[in-house]
Structure 1
Amino acid sequence: MGLIILLVVGGVVGWLAGLIMRDNNGVILNVVVGIVGAILAGFIVTPLIGGAPITSGIISIESIAVSLLGAIVLLAIINLFRRGTVR
């Protein structure tokens, strides 16, 4: 069940990150970036703030916010390498 939640929330977060960054990489790349960003941010940032990561299957406002932040940062890094600018 946790994997399904991770995929759904990561996909939505990646889509939102693409909208926030005004990115034209495509929906598939944004969804993948959202999933990877959610995983990385869940393992790195969430223990620092004391919440449950999205990988545990618990959906909370802080886990979604951390996942969105991770997806935005990862999308900015990808844009930096692909275009030379963050936008």
Structure 2
Amino acid sequence: MGLGLLASIIVGGLAGWIASMIMKADTGLLLNIVLGIVGAVVLNALLSLLGIYAANSWIPQLVVGTAGASLLIWAARRMRR
């Protein structure tokens, strides 16, 4: 069973916030949530292509979401240059 919508939003928001602190990005609460959720989805998809699956609980998803959101922040910065 998955995390559920509310838990995904909370974990995604936390992951996006952590990523914005790591990457020193000035993003708002809504963008933190979006970055965390989208980052987790993107990185989970990339990892599944490699045959790696993160456990479907909040700690692994927080790690994957943070890494994915950090990757999205990095990519956005690269595209702006």
Q: Do they superpose with TM above 0.5?
A: yes
Task: Please give the TM-score of this superposition, normalised by the length of structure 1.
Answer: 0.71
Structure 2 segments unaligned to the other structure (5+ residues): none
1:35 to 30, 34, 37: 37
Number of the residue aligned with 1:66: 64
**Structure 1 vs Structure 2 CA RMSD:** 2.1
Task: Please give the TM-score of this superposition, normalised by the length of structure 2.
Answer: 0.75
> Which aligned segments of 4 or more residues in structure 1 are displaced greater than 4 angstroms?
none
Moved more, 38-47 or 2-11: 38-47
- The DSSP-based 3-state class of the residue aligned with 2:34 is helix
Moved more, 38-47 or 27-36: 38-47
Number of the residue aligned with 2:26: 24
- Distance in structure 2 (CA, Å) of the matches to 1:21 and 1:12: 14
- The DSSP-based 3-state class of the residue aligned with 2:27 is coil
Give percent identity, aligned residues only.
35
